[in-house]
Amino acid sequence: MDNVRIERWFRTLKSEYVYLEEFESPRDMARGIAGFIEKYNTVRLHESLDYQTPADVYGERFVQAA
């Protein structure tokens, strides 16, 4: 099951960012992917998380566990 989740995430990364952009260098691509990951985790709402961001859900769980 873990492999399915990461493969799905990579599919999202590629279809929503990598395939749509043109990069001048590998460094430019790395910066862009880092920005995509940041937005994915802190801005984008996820249906499977009851329309919260992963950062919100992780923060709630982390606070509850402490």
Which residues are CB-contacts of 57 (< 8 A; sequence separation ≥ 6)?
49
Residue listed under structure tokens 């492999």: 3
Residue listed under structure tokens 């009851």: 50
pLDDT tens for residues 53-62? 999 998 866 6
Residue 12, token pair as written in the block = 């999202």
Whole-prediction pTM value? 0.78
What per-residue confidence (pLDDT) applies to 62? 62
What per-residue confidence (pLDDT) applies to 63? 57
pLDDT tens for residues 6-64? 999 999 999 999 999 999 999 999 999 999 999 999 999 999 899 999 999 988 666 55
What per-residue confidence (pLDDT) applies to 37? 95
- For the chain, helix, strand, coil in percent to 5 are 75, 5, 20
